[in-house]
Amino acid sequence: MSNDVRDEHLIDARETDEGPLRHFRLGRRVVLQSLATGVGVAVFAARASAQHDHHAAVAAALSTAPASANSADPALVFFDRHAFDTLAALSEQIVPGSRAVGVPEFLDRLVAVESTDTQKRVTQALGAFEGEARAAHGKPWKALSDPEANALLTRISTQPDSDPTRKAFDALKGAVAQTYYDSEIGMKELGWNGGVAFAPPTACG
């Protein structure tokens, strides 16, 4: 896919309420304002609030992480490596097969052309999962074993609809699922017979 076509594809997804990130644009402001105080946001935000002792302890632990965890990665457009790895792990856990079709890479590029507000909501949502992992197991989400991650996702996804982390889960699940089922493999799973030319998200990389 040429740069012009790729850019047009991303702009269309950004400007329409039908794109994958619409789940972070509609009805999320109050939710993610509450998430902004979560312990996991420190991993992805430029500054940590550390309003409580527990928050401060987590921020201190993060400051001792290897420098490479947050260094710029030329393969990524918006996320740093730690945030991207978290997104990649969550994508695969929520919709198996997501990594094979390039869902995390596509969302990295899509978030990069979104508004600052939407970018903030996405990173805060990832921070909510990071906070859950550290609170339950004392390690980042990307380091969880499959049973640990599945148990947390089951608990989060069955919380009341008003729960902030449940809302973060619903938003991320919507973005990942839509991106996956817009891919060639995903469309075939839904019954597409291959009769129309189609470029998967990885072609826009």
Per residue in 33-69, pLDDT tens?
A: 444 434 444 445 433 333 233 333 333 333 333 333 3
For residues 95 and 44, which has the higher predicted lDDT (pLDDT)? 95
Whole-number pLDDT of residue 199: 55
Q: Residue 88 belongs to what domain range?
A: 3-204
Q: Is 52 exposed, middle or buried (0-12, 13-18, 19+ CB in 10 A)?
A: exposed
Whole-number pLDDT of residue 92: 97
- How do residues 166-200 score in pLDDT, each as one tens digit? 999 999 999 999 888 888 887 877 777 666 555 55
Residue with tokens 């991106």: 179
d(CA 117, CA 120): 5
- Residues 149-176 have a mean pLDDT of 94
Whole-number pLDDT of residue 27: 44
Q: Count up the domains in the chain and report the number.
A: 1
How many CB atoms are closer than 10 A to CB 81?
Answer: 16
- Residues 153-168 have a mean pLDDT of 94
Whole-number pLDDT of residue 202: 53
The percentage of the chain sitting over the pLDDT mark of 70, rounded to a whole number, equals: 59
The percentage of the chain sitting over the pLDDT mark of 90, rounded to a whole number, equals: 45
Residue with tokens 């790729």: 6
Whole-number pLDDT of residue 104: 94
- Residues 70-99 have a mean pLDDT of 88
pLDDT at residue 118 greater than cutoff 80: yes
- Residues 140-146 have a mean pLDDT of 96
d(CA 184, CA 90): 21
Whole-number pLDDT of residue 22: 59
For residues 156 and 51, which has the higher predicted lDDT (pLDDT)? 156
d(CA 20, CA 28): 14
